[in-house]
Amino acid sequence: DAGVIQSPRHEVTEMGQEVTLRCKPISGHDYLFWYRQTMMRGLELLIYFNNNVPIDDSGMPEDRFSAKMPNASFSTLKIQPSEPRDSAVYFCASSPPFWENNEQFFGPGTRLTVL
Amino acid sequence: DQQVKQNSPSLSVQEGRISILNCDYTNSMFDYFLWYKKYPAEGPTFLISISSIKDKNEDGRFTVFLNKSAKHLSLHIVPSQPGDSAVYFCAASVYGGATNKLIFGTGTLLAVQP
């Protein structure tokens, strides 16, 4: 298996633009997580899905952030409009059911820079 | 409100010596703890975990100790190697709580000097 795939790896955009980050989880994993990494807060959980259904979006910072999972093999995280303070590394992770393994498998991340 | 805290942003040790990374948590409901390792430009990867029914778990050079009364855990790396230089994240969860949700700390950057 190729692991969790994220695209793009780097994104540079200007304030006010829409940004879409993409994720393909590991086949067979029914949990998908979106995280944001910053120096101040470490790895923050933004939202997670179980069987394509959003379960907990309490970490989504503002209404400018939205996430979807239209099928078991694809998810997007959208920021509209983007702001400089959104600059961070965004990770997607997937995991099997918790009763099998509590480990999460991370993608390589997308480094977002908003100018 | 940071439920999982890693108070040392960085740590430097000599090759061959012991590295000790610390983590504190505030939520007494947490009963499963994990350490992840992250190299630059890569995603975090699982390193070792421990359930609250244990106070120690060992895997090769890596040992995690859990002190439930103090709500504290530590990761020991013996002997440390230059390839261990990375950011280490501590994470906690409520195992079997119908979710795989993990709460991560802010990370500790370990530098192992040759």
Report which residue type is found at B68. Answer: K
Show the low-confidence residues of chain A (pLDDT under 70).
1, 98-101
Q: Cβ contact (<8 Å) for B106 and A45? A: no
How many angstroms separate the CA atoms of A39 and A61, rounded? Answer: 16
The distance of A41 to chain B (nearest Cα, Å) reads 6
Q: How much is the pLDDT for B13?
A: 98
Q: How much is the pLDDT for A102?
A: 72
Q: Are strands A10-13 and B32-38 parallel, antiparallel or unpaired?
A: unpaired
Per-residue pLDDT in tens (0 to 9) along chain B, 114 residues: 678 999 999 999 999 999 999 999 999 989 889 999 999 999 999 999 999 999 999 999 999 999 999 999 999 999 999 999 999 999 998 765 556 688 999 999 999 999
Q: B89: which chain A residues are within 8 Å (Cβ-Cβ)?
A: 42-43
Task: For chain A, say whether B89 makes contact (Cβ under 8 Å).
Answer: yes
Residue B27: C-alpha distances to residues A45, B51, B53, B93 (Å): 17, 15, 16, 10
Task: For chain A, say whether B105 makes contact (Cβ under 8 Å).
Answer: yes
Q: How much is the pLDDT for B101?
A: 81
Phi, psi (rounded to 5 degrees) for B82: -55, -35
User: Do A66 and B4 touch, CB atoms closer than 8 A?
Assistant: no
Q: How much is the pLDDT for A62?
A: 85
For residue A8, say if its preceding peptide bond is cis, omega within 30 degrees of 0: yes
A65 strand-pairing partners: A79
Q: The tokens 């993990």 sit on which residue?
A: B102
Q: How much is the pLDDT for B98?
A: 57
Residues 6+ apart with CB under 8 A from A82: A13, A14, A15, A16, A17, A18, A19, A64, A112, A114
Q: Residue B8, Cβ neighbours under 10 Å: how many? A: 14
Instruction: Give CA angle at A112 (A106, A113), nearest 5°.
Output: 155
Nearest residue in B to A95, CA atom: B100
How many angstroms separate the CA atoms of B48 and B35, rounded? Answer: 5
Q: How much is the pLDDT for B37?
A: 97
